[in-house]
Structure 1
Amino acid sequence: MNMKNIHIGSLIRSKVEEYQIPIERIAKFLDNEEEDVEKMYHEKSIDTEILLKWCKLLKFDFFRFYTGHLILYAPQTRGNNIISKKGQMMVFRKSIYTQEVKDFILRKIEIGAMTAHEIVLRYNIPKTTLYKWLKKM
């Protein structure tokens, strides 16, 4: 799975094939024609309301791919994480890393595409967090 270029239609098709759900059931659930369902499999992006229906039907959170993408590729902004409390500034640094993000990062190290140091610099993942993941590998 390429976390940088998400093709949601192919990810949905993969889950549909895995669960072997008939297209008739899918079309009825989505309130669409079968042809429209087939077209969705070829779409790089899908409306969030429709994607939410897919999540419910397949009992899988497809939004996690986008969350993973944001964690890896969105620029870090400290301003959004700061909350004022009685004149003090507190910074909340905890991020939530999905299993897909962890797998992506660990795979980069495993195949030699990046070193741990490069991962820390490029993706702003704390060293201690990365080394905990590596220990569990």
Structure 2
Amino acid sequence: MNIKNIHIGSLIRSKVEEHQISIERICRFFESTEEDVEKMYRAKSMDTEILLKWCKLLKFDFFRFYTGHLILYSPQSRIDNVFRKKENTLVFRKSIYTQEVKDFILEKIKTGVMTANDVVERYKIPKTTLYKWMKKL
């Protein structure tokens, strides 16, 4: 799985094969033809409404791949990890890391592709957070 370049159609096909869902059931669910389903499998991206239907059919959150991508590859905004004042109260906005993101990063460290310092620098993950993940290995 390449979290930097997401090809949602192939991820869906993979889950369909994993769950052994018949093409007939998929066609009935989407009220479409086999050819339409094959087009979805070849699609690098798709409409969110259709993706939501796939999530329901396969009982899997495909949106998490995009969330993981945003966490890893979007530039940090200045207010993401700082206190903000909201109606006379301070609010701390904390980043949320999915298990897929954690696995992706830990795999990079385990295989030697990146060091812990490289990860902290590139992805702006706090050192304490990263070392907690590494401890649990």
Q: What interval of TM-score do these two structures reach, taking the shorter chain for normalisation?
A: over 0.9
- Matched with 2:78 is 78
Residues in 1 aligned to 2:80 and 2:108: alpha-carbon distance in whole angstroms? 29
Where has structure 1 moved over 4 Å in runs of 4 or more?
none
* Identity percentage of aligned residues: 75
In structure 1, what residue type is equivalent to 2:111?
Answer: I
Residues 58-137 of structure 1: pairs in structure 2 closer than 5 A? 58-79=58-79, 82-86=84-88, 90-137=90-137
Aligned residues: 135
CA shift in 2, pair 1:10/1:126, >3 Å: same
Q: Under a length normalisation based on structure 2, what TM-score does the superposition of the two structures give? A: 0.93
Q: SS state of the match for residue 42, structure 2?
A: coil
**1:17 is the counterpart of 2:17:** yes
Counterpart of 1:54?
Answer: 54
Unmatched 5+ residue regions in structure 1?
none
Looking at structure 2, the residues matched to 3 and 108 of structure 1 have their Cα atoms a distance apart, in angstroms, of: 12
Cα deviation, residue 93, structure 1: 3.7
Instruction: Extract unaligned runs of 5+ from structure 2.
Output: none
Q: Following the alignment from structure 1 to structure 2, what is the Cα–Cα distance between the partners of residues 72 and 53?
A: 26
Other structure's SS at 1:41 match = helix
The 1-side partners of 2:80 and 2:96 are apart by 16
Deviations 1:20-73 (A, max 9, x none): 000011011012111100111111001100000000000000000000000000
Instruction: Mark the CA change 1:83 to 1:57 in structure 2 (over 3 Å): closer, same or farther.
Output: farther
